[in-house]
Amino acid sequence: MAKDMETIVQLAKHRGFVFPGSDIYGGLSNTWDYGPLGVELKNNVKKAWWQKFITQSPYNVGIDAAILMNPKTWEASGHLGNFNDPMIDNKDSKIRYRADKIIEDYMANEKGDENFVADGLSFDEMKRIIDEEGIVCPVSGTANWTDIRQFNLMFKTFQGVTEDSTNEIFLRPETAQGIFVNYKNVQRTMRKKLPFGIGQIGKSFRNEITPGNFIFRTREFEQMELEFFCKPGEEIEWQNYWKTFASQWLKRFKIK
């Protein structure tokens, strides 16, 4: 699988689709630049999605919300308190992992249990499993682990000339909150009545402990998101409607 991914990366690079980020300076882990063909392909996908889900829809309208938002937004949404991953370090390899993922990978590969879910376990429960099963770091081969601790996934920066807690702001980890805070503005200015949707395309940022392969699960990524609002009791009906709608649209592009 790793060899296949390497072949895909090299092909994408040589054909002008995707280049490693900051390549002439040694690169930066988990960053990718879209080349001449890649950006055209990406723009075509965004254009097709926007036309189908926003422009041509009798229900939906679009917005383009700011990446930087008042920190109270993330406090109210629960991101400041709950948008965390369980982090653990191997003392020998100095590599950081998500504790739940190394447990799930171990259970799938060593125990044959691909349905085991570690998400939701307490830190103590995860550490007990790691210790009792003797789960080792795939790089160092040792079980010399730190304690599990909480790791917030949001990128923090500062607004203004001083770097103190009063000027802390965050790069948004999702586009949804920009839609939610503008719900009343959109409803009033566009005179929308339920049911209706608000969609946008934009960048989001998550400081993942263990990002994925190639352009999948990157720390900087682009979302095409639609939030649909309906009357209480109608949510299942509309959920089924949009599942079918999205599935049919994806099948046009041979995506399953």
* 77-94 residue pLDDT tens: 988 877 778 889 999 998
Q: The tokens of 60 are what?
A: 């939906």
- Domain-located, residue 37: yes
Would the CA dihedral through 217, 220, 222, 223 be positive or negative? positive
Q: Residue 154 and residue 159: Cα distance in Å, rounded?
A: 15
| pLDDT exceeds cutoff 60 at 1 | no
Domain boundary among 110, 128, 152: 152
Out of 1-15, 28-42, 165-179, 212-226, which region has the weakest mean confidence (pLDDT)? 1-15
What pLDDT does 211 receive? 67
Between strands 149-152 and 84-89, the pairing is antiparallel
Q: On the CB side of 256, how many CA atoms lie within 13 Å of its CA?
A: 0
Q: Residue 109 and residue 88: Cα distance in Å, rounded?
A: 20
Better-predicted residue by pLDDT, 255 or 236: 236
Which is nearest to 66 in space by CA: 177, 226, 207, 217? 177
Q: The tokens of 177 are what?
A: 């909150």
My answer on whether 60 and 161 are in the same domain is yes
Q: State mean pLDDT over 147-155.
A: 86
Segment holding 18, helix H or strand E: strand 18-20
What pLDDT does 84 receive? 77
What pLDDT does 82 receive? 73
My answer on whether 122 and 188 are in the same domain is no
What pLDDT does 143 receive? 92
What pLDDT does 256 receive? 64
| pLDDT exceeds cutoff 70 at 3 | no
**Domain carrying residue 120:** 84-152
Q: State mean pLDDT over 193-207.
A: 96
Span 56-75, pLDDT tens digits: 999 999 999 999 999 999 98
| pLDDT exceeds cutoff 90 at 171 | yes
My answer on whether 172 and 52 are in the same domain is yes
Task: Give the three-class secondary structure for 50.
Answer: helix
My answer on whether 100 and 116 are in the same domain is yes
Q: The tokens of 6 are what?
A: 């390497």
Q: Residue 231 and residue 108: Cα distance in Å, rounded?
A: 42
CB burial class (10 A; 0-12, 13-18, 19+) of residue 133?
Answer: middle
Residue 75 identity: E
My answer on whether 148 and 164 are in the same domain is no
Q: State mean pLDDT over 226-248.
A: 97
pLDDT band with cut points at 50, 70 and 90 for residue 2:
low
| pLDDT exceeds cutoff 80 at 196 | yes
The pTM (predicted TM-score) of the whole model is 0.79
Q: Residue 93 and residue 91: Cα distance in Å, rounded?
A: 6
Q: State mean pLDDT over 202-218.
A: 84
My answer on whether 244 and 164 are in the same domain is yes
For residue 135, the tally of other CB atoms under 10 A from its CB is: 20
What pLDDT does 209 receive? 73
- Domain-located, residue 256: no
pLDDT band with cut points at 50, 70 and 90 for residue 214:
confident
What pLDDT does 163 receive? 82
My answer on whether 92 and 210 are in the same domain is no
Domain boundary among 132, 152, 172: 152
My answer on whether 135 and 161 are in the same domain is no
My answer on whether 108 and 229 are in the same domain is no
CATH number of residue 224's parent domain: 3.30.930.10
What pLDDT does 153 receive? 84
Out of 134-148, 159-173, 214-228, which region has the weakest mean confidence (pLDDT)? 159-173
Percent of the chain with pLDDT over 70: 97
- Domain-located, residue 161: yes
134-139 long-range contacts, CB within 8 A, separation 24+: 135/102, 135/103, 135/106, 137/90, 137/92, 137/93, 137/95, 137/97, 139/90, 139/93, 139/95
Residue 147 near residue 127 (C-beta atoms within 8 A): yes
Mean pLDDT for the chain overall: 91
Q: On the CB side of 45, how many CA atoms lie within 13 Å of its CA?
A: 12
Counted domains in the chain: 2
- Domain-located, residue 225: yes
Between strands 196-205 and 60-62, the pairing is parallel
Task: Give the three-class secondary structure for 10.
Answer: helix
My answer on whether 41 and 161 are in the same domain is yes
pLDDT band with cut points at 50, 70 and 90 for residue 246:
very high
